[in-house]
Amino acid sequence: MGGLRPWSHLAFRREAHYLGVGNPIGNLEPAMKITKVDVVLVDVPAIDPPFVWRKNIPGSDGAIVAGWLVIETDAGITGFASVGRGVIFKDYVDRRFRGELIGQDPMMREYLWERMWEMDRIERFPPMLIHVVDVALWDIAAKAANLPVYKLLGGYRESIPAYASTVTYSSISEFLDIASQFIDDGYRAIKLHAFGDAKKDAQLSLALRDHVGPDIALMYDGSAGFDLLDAVYLGHALDEARFEWYEEPMREFSVTAYKWLGERVRVPLLLGEVTDGAHMSAGDFAATGVATALRVSTFLRGGFTGAMRIAHLADAYHLRAEVHGFGLEQAHLCMAIKNNTYYESLVKDNPYTTLDKGIVKVINGSINAPKGPGIGFEVQWAEMGAPKGLEKYLK
């Protein structure tokens, strides 16, 4: 055996049970099985006060019916994942996902991820739904390992700076006032969701740089509001104002249009936030040479599995993989992905508040790693109360 650790047969089987692998003599008997798949619908009140985005797209939601996916196992471990459109997701679970999942080994995440993509060929799932099963499976796996998800993914850090990501305020002067509030509270980076008017957004960008000085990092998110001509015009202003990145100024269906944009502006482009295809569409943005950084998230890029594929793809080409969105899932990604720079803290109101209501706390401009094991929903619920209907699943 040389220097190898002399594990006993029994010890290996015990480790195998928690890690979800076969036993040493080659049987592929699952370490645990999925026994129940449920969706708990949750009424979520309208955001109050409401906020707005750029022109031509709706603002904050009114009252909605959200949902929680609950996956139970015969090992007594339960995985959770949230979804913003509960009724639609419940229909998919009832017709497709439950039958695929019952009896499966939840540790076979890659296999089950591919099953979701195979079914997408028939159903064409909305991008914000396909990730939900994957998130719940990672919650199970991390709980089985008694680790927070970011460490199971391969932890890289325990804290990271946050940037204040604005909604659309009413005027340039209000944006400047809000920026001062951010800096007073310790933020060292700010991202604009601005008016959706190229000339006015250019004025805002230059005014904001003059207002905050040279040491605050600035970023801009166009929310797909422009054609190529306006995107080029605004890109020149962002370069003059020394913005760190220019995010999704046009719809992402045309990689060629972004190639043309990249040939005409110098400001770095952050791409691949919403287009279908997870790592596959991200690969096209990288292959053209136009993306300086790629977007990752759980909720638009195929869960933790899809996000990590993109992060590793980006790293192979020395590109950053910037995490999009807020909340516990994205905080785990921020801690696991080496080539990510910030956590996105979405802010609204004036005086400002954070949209995640303190689920992930920004302290002096940074966040700390979530507490586990798993994603840490139970830690959150111990402080804030569990969503109605989930109490029976909590032990």
pLDDT digits (tens, 9 = 90+) for 112-147: 999 998 998 888 888 788 899 999 999 999 999 999
Helices of type H across the chain: 9-19, 86-92, 98-101, 109-123, 132-144, 149-154, 172-184, 198-212, 228-240, 255-264, 279-287, 303-316, 328-336, 377-384
CATH class for the domain made up of 151-370: alpha beta
Three-point CA angle 216, 218, 222, nearest 5°: 165
CATH class, 32-147 region: alpha beta
| Portions of the chain given CATH number 3.30.390.10 | 32-147
Q: Does the structure show a pLDDT above 60 at 304?
A: yes
Residue 248 pLDDT level (bands cut at 50, 70, 90): very high
- The per-residue pLDDT for range 197-213, each reduced to its tens digit, is 999 999 999 999 999 99
What is the predicted pLDDT for the residue at 50?
Answer: 95
Tell me how far apart the alpha carbons of residues 106 and 70 are, in angstroms, rounded to a whole number: 12
Q: pLDDT category, 27, cuts 50, 70, 90?
A: low
Q: pLDDT tens digits, residue range 155-178?
A: 999 999 999 999 999 999 999 999
- pTM, two decimals, is 0.92
Mean per-residue pLDDT over the chain, rounded:
91
Question: Where are the CATH 3.20.20.120 domain residues in the chain?
Answer: 151-370
Cα–Cα distance measured from residue 50 to residue 316, given in angstroms and rounded to the nearest whole number: 41
